[in-house]
Structure 1
Amino acid sequence: MVDWLNYHHLLYFWMVAKEGGITPAAELLHLSQPTLSTQIQKLEKSLGVKLFDRRGRTMVMTEAGQMVFRYADEIFSLGRELTDAVRGRPSADSLRLVVGVPDVLPKLIVYRILQSALEIEERVQLVVYEGKLQQLLSELALHRLDLVLADSPLTPEINVRAFSHQLGQCDVTIFGTDEMARKYSQDFPQSLNGAPMLLPTQNTTMRRALEQYFDQHDIRPETIHEFEDSALLKVFGQAGQGMIVVPTVIADEVGRQYSLKPVHRIPEIIERFYAISVERRLKHPAVVAISKAVKLNLFVDT
């Protein structure tokens, strides 16, 4: 027997999650708070998961609730698009591009890659989700994402039928404060022995490449902190907690944005960037534009 989803209950949950609680959602829906709470409980029972945790007077979505909210957000967004298309509104002419971005990717790289999609003649609406690569690939396999950006190609052990399209590559540059740049740029790379470093976590391509480079040169920097989020790593670098390593293609922007100075460029370490799709040949107009523009413009000078 098919389990039918009650979309009224899903809508009530979505409104509560968006508005941050039962009270404001009940006012917008013109329902009593007890009625709305009952509908949420029915949805939880039908799905077999708990969607909210109560912390004092605050309702916080559980991990399952966050997943359901994401689906609900897409469902009701598509519903609005359907209505607009039937009524002939201009938004029906726009392209929707849903992209998954692993949190380890530098945000400046992501911006410059996706910017290419906004330069085609058709209007593009970007929907960008951030998460772990394996989770994003699972969503891609279910056709809930058009594209996943990554810093490594798919490997055989990843059980997802998809294809890796290399967008480009560049080497990396170490950055630090003025004082660090003056101190550690001399006698490089031996100067990195004992030097304070802020590194990506162990599950990243960059970390593995750095450790191989350190081993080859018999270097043992001091790992001050480790970060999975590349943006947070740069903020700590800006605060002088340690030196950071960034793709050279965004070196100028990192220096300006975070007030950091280049310590040394490392041509031996190569960062590669990929677009992963379920298509062997890219078809989505915005994705095709990204692939062409990035290869022509983003990585040409590195």
Structure 2
Amino acid sequence: MSSLNYRHLYYFWVVAKEGGFARAAERLDMAVQTISAQVKALEQSLGHQLIKASGRSLALTEAGQAALARAEEIFRLGQSLHDEVRQAASGPALRLAVGLSDGISKLAAHALLAPLLDTPALRLICHEGEVEQLLAELAMHQLDLVLAGQPSPPNPNLRLSSDRLLGAPVDWYGPTELVRKAGTDRHPERFPDCLADLPVLLPTGHSALRATLERWFDQRGLVPRVVGEFEDSALMAVFAARGLGVFPVSRLGADDLALMRGLRRLGSCEDVREEIHAIRSRRGLHHPLVQRLMASASA
């Protein structure tokens, strides 16, 4: 059997994707007759008809469908080859796969990862999900590190270790109009009682911070009017900036709020702290970027 002509296969692939010879010719800027001849040559090489007439259009035969499926795989691999060669030519990438649990502040997570972002050839991959799912991926070495609001639960089968990275105080921010209404810039003592009169945004129940805030409200006899709940602190900040309400944020992530216009600090609750724990597998203990993150957080 003669060797496969990949140019012929490519023309067939374009015809199949475009749904006809005329569209394929327009896409390739070639004559219809030329493309038709190339596909005929492929059919002769394979010994099977790949395309048949179906009314005024064309349809793939069963052999054509099998050929198209394999062509999709071949050209996808071809694109991967280009990408891998380009990456190899530019130097090896340093990959870091991080799992971010649903419950932690994404603004705080960004601040923790910020010291790594200047790493040459960094390839940062962030997955978000439930803690249990992320820990399973960590145990299977699909992730190098998980950032969560609580330590890893005891499980000798997973062989994971946890370190508390930080416990940052929580500040409250809101749109300028609501902060002015509360008057805490002139009368700081109005905080936190002013929260009872303002629309409040909170993290969802996935977050360990939510439970801490609920206890804090109870201790002060506050019944906030909750108008929104968010898993993502950055998304919560966006809605707050649009005027929806005031919200709590870890002081570690508060620096990123400067990137959003229209947000002002309402007050601070020093006795409420958001904790973030780094959970690692044994392999993650030796990852250079994980070690760098741990050192930066403890500095």
TM-score class normalised by the smaller sequence: 0.5 to 0.7
Contact kept? 1:255, 1:261, Cα under 8 Å:
no
Amino acid at match of 1:266: C
Residues 58-116 of structure 1: CA distance to partner in whole angstroms, max 9, x if unpaired?
xxxxxxxxxxxxxxxxxx8xx869975xx993456332111112244333322232232
Residues 111-140 of structure 1: CA distance to partner in whole angstroms, max 9, x if unpaired?
2322323445x6332122222222111111
Match of 1:282 among 285, 290, 295: 285
Flag the 1:115–1:179 CA change in 2: closer, same or farther, 3 A.
Answer: closer
What is the match of residue 162 of structure 1?
160
Amino acid at match of 1:225: G
Q: Does 1:114 align with 2:85?
A: no
What is the CA–CA distance in structure 2 between the aligned matches of 1:97 and 1:292, rounded to whole Å? 16
Residues 237-252 of structure 1 aligned to structure 2 (within 5 Å):
237-252=240-255
Q: Does 1:129 align with 2:127?
A: yes
Amino acid at match of 2:123: Q
Aligned length: 239
Deviation larger for 90-99 or 211-220: 90-99
What is the CA–CA distance in structure 2 between the aligned matches of 1:210 and 1:133, rounded to whole Å? 20
What is the match of residue 200 of structure 2?
197
Flag the 1:88–1:97 CA change in 2: closer, same or farther, 3 A.
Answer: closer
What is the match of residue 36 of structure 2?
none
Flag the 1:99–1:261 CA change in 2: closer, same or farther, 3 A.
Answer: same
Amino acid at match of 2:138: L
What is the CA–CA distance in structure 2 between the aligned matches of 1:200 and 1:139, rounded to whole Å? 25
Deviation larger for 260-269 or 172-181: 172-181
Amino acid at match of 2:266: V
Amino acid at match of 2:96: L
What is the CA–CA distance in structure 2 between the aligned matches of 1:201 and 1:36, rounded to whole Å? 53
Q: Does 1:292 align with 2:295?
A: yes
Residues 182-201 of structure 1: CA distance to partner in whole angstroms, max 9, x if unpaired?
33334222222242101111
Flag the 1:82–1:194 CA change in 2: closer, same or farther, 3 A.
Answer: closer
TM-score (norm 1): 0.66
CA RMSD of aligned residues (A): 3.9
What is the match of residue 268 of structure 2?
265
TM-score (norm 2): 0.66
What is the CA–CA distance in structure 1 between the aligned matches of 2:103 and 2:156, rounded to whole Å? 18
**Equivalent position SS for 2:200:** strand
Deviation at 1:155?
A: 2.7
What is the CA–CA distance in structure 1 between the aligned matches of 2:105 and 2:256, rounded to whole Å? 12
**Equivalent position SS for 1:183:** helix
What is the match of residue 223 of structure 2?
220
Residues 213-246 of structure 1: CA distance to partner in whole angstroms, max 9, x if unpaired?
0001111010111112222211110111111111
What is the CA–CA distance in structure 2 between the aligned matches of 1:147 and 1:177, rounded to whole Å? 35
Amino acid at match of 2:204: T
What is the CA–CA distance in structure 1 between the aligned matches of 2:244 and 2:196, rounded to whole Å? 16
Flag the 1:82–1:178 CA change in 2: closer, same or farther, 3 A.
Answer: closer
Contact kept? 2:99, 2:143, Cα under 8 Å:
yes
Identity of aligned residues (%): 34
Deviation larger for 281-290 or 99-108: 99-108
What is the CA–CA distance in structure 2 between the aligned matches of 1:251 and 1:244, rounded to whole Å? 11
Contact kept? 1:103, 1:230, Cα under 8 Å:
no
Report the structure number with the largest CA radius of gyration.
Answer: 2
Flag the 1:37–1:172 CA change in 2: closer, same or farther, 3 A.
Answer: farther
Match of 1:176 among 150, 174, 177: 174
Consecutive unaligned residues in structure 1, runs of 5 or more: 1-21, 43-75, 297-302
What is the CA–CA distance in structure 2 between the aligned matches of 1:162 and 1:214, rounded to whole Å? 34
